[in-house]
Amino acid sequence: MMGKLIVEGIGTFFLVFTIGQTVKGPNATELAPLAIGSALMVMVYAGGHFSGGHYNPAVTLGVTLRGKASWSQALSYMVAQVIGAVVAGAVVLFIKGQGPSWQPPPAPAGYAFLAQAVGDFLFTFALVYVVLNAATAKGTAGNSFYGLAIGFTVMVGAFAVGPVSGGAFNPAVGVGLFVMGLADSTQLAIYLGADFLGGAAAALVFRTLDMGGDRSLA
């Protein structure tokens, strides 16, 4: 179990580290969504066979509600993921430092708050829906495309709603953004609430439509 937790921490670290290095301040790039999706893809391919390659508490929640992980294992995974995100945030701050260009966006209010929550909910739903179908369903057993499907879902979401919601799609990423000063407490609450709800909704649809099988992602 400890090995799986280490792999989850490593994968989440590199995902959040890539986000921090590409979305704000020096070296920020308009191609950040491509880098972020690719980082998730390669980490899924690297560790998916060993830990399941969740790297996301919302994915872990979806897998648990799908019945393929115990709640004790899920909580351990989530702790490892958040630790990886916090360490990544600290390393990004060490490398980049903080300056006038390293500021969180204004706290959302009213319509902006709702738009941010809806955007992150929708693509967290899409991400967990893709994970469950591409990596745990009996009908896709033995496929070699699940890493691409998962990584590119994040890339599409980052391009589609990143400018609106920040494009976390992952409570651990939300924590990392908060540590790096790229999200305030209101935005962190959105990333936690909307993303967990999106993951739970995806699991509900997956189970209600009986889309699964007997494969395990944990």
Summarised one tens digit per residue, pLDDT across range 169-211 is 999 999 999 999 888 898 999 999 999 999 999 999 999 988 8
Q: Rounded to an integer, what distance in angstroms lies between the CA atom of residue 192 and that of residue 185?
A: 10
pLDDT at 12 over 90: yes
How confident is residue 48, by pLDDT bands cut at 50, 70 and 90? confident
The CATH number of the domain covering residues in 2-208:
1.20.1080.10
pLDDT at 108 exceeding the cut of 80: no
**Percent of the chain at pLDDT above 70?**
91
The answer to whether 182 and 162 have CB atoms below 8 angstroms apart is: no
| CA distances in angstroms from 214 to 64, 77, 135, 152, 200, listed in the order given | 14, 21, 11, 25, 19
Q: What is the mean pLDDT of residues 124-146?
A: 87
pTM recorded for the entire structure: 0.88
Give the pLDDT of residue 1. 86
